[in-house]
Amino acid sequence: MFYDQLMHLCDRDGISPTTLLKNMGLSKGSLSNWREGKLPTGEMLVRFSEHFHVSLDYLVNGTEVIGALTDDDREWLNLIHSLAPEVQRDFKGAMRLHADLHQIADREEQLRQAK
């Protein structure tokens, strides 16, 4: 199952499996092992999961995760993760404040319309 998922994800992202393995410092022989049903190490599974932005469950079992990330979600996360940790904290606080203010404005508008 892992092998099939890996092939699907490589195809989805337009990368050849051998290029992916080379970029991750793995040998092409790994593909043969995985095709036979063996699994990579836990550390490698995590790296593949992070690389493809999928859950470990999806990677190993092909099980869709409810609420899986959309491309837009991944873009937001990549932008956020590109910031320094202290900037991420500030940004998170600012986003929460903005969301709270927006919710208050929506409620006030609903009350005005209800009158």
- Interatomic CA distance for residues 100 and 104, integer angstroms: 6
State which residues form the domain around 43. 2-61
Is 75 a member of any domain? no
Residue 16 has pLDDT above 90, yes or no: yes
Which pLDDT does position 21 carry in this prediction?
A: 93
Band (pLDDT 50/70/90 cuts) for residue 3 is very high
Which pLDDT does position 4 carry in this prediction?
A: 92
Do 7 and 54 share a domain, yes or no?
A: yes
Over residues 85-92, mean pLDDT: 89
Do 9 and 56 share a domain, yes or no?
A: yes
**8 A C-beta contact, residue 79 and residue 92:** no
Is 66 a member of any domain? no
Do 49 and 90 share a domain, yes or no?
A: no
Do 6 and 57 share a domain, yes or no?
A: yes
Is 30 a member of any domain? yes
Do 57 and 99 share a domain, yes or no?
A: no
Do 51 and 12 share a domain, yes or no?
A: yes
Do 57 and 14 share a domain, yes or no?
A: yes
Do 6 and 56 share a domain, yes or no?
A: yes
Using alpha carbons only, give the angle 20, 23, 27 rounded to the nearest 5 degrees: 75
Do 55 and 89 share a domain, yes or no?
A: no
Which pLDDT does position 64 carry in this prediction?
A: 67
Q: What is the pLDDT of residues 25-83, one digit of tens each?
A: 998 888 999 999 999 999 999 999 999 988 888 888 887 665 667 888 888 888 888 98
Which stretch of 10-14, 59-63, 68-72, 109-113 has the lowest confidence by average pLDDT?
68-72
- Interatomic CA distance for residues 30 and 27, integer angstroms: 6
Q: How many CB atoms lie within 10 A of CB 6?
A: 21
Which pLDDT does position 68 carry in this prediction?
A: 66
Radius of gyration over every alpha carbon of the chain, rounded to an integer in angstroms = 21
**8 A C-beta contact, residue 40 and residue 34:** yes
Is 74 a member of any domain? no
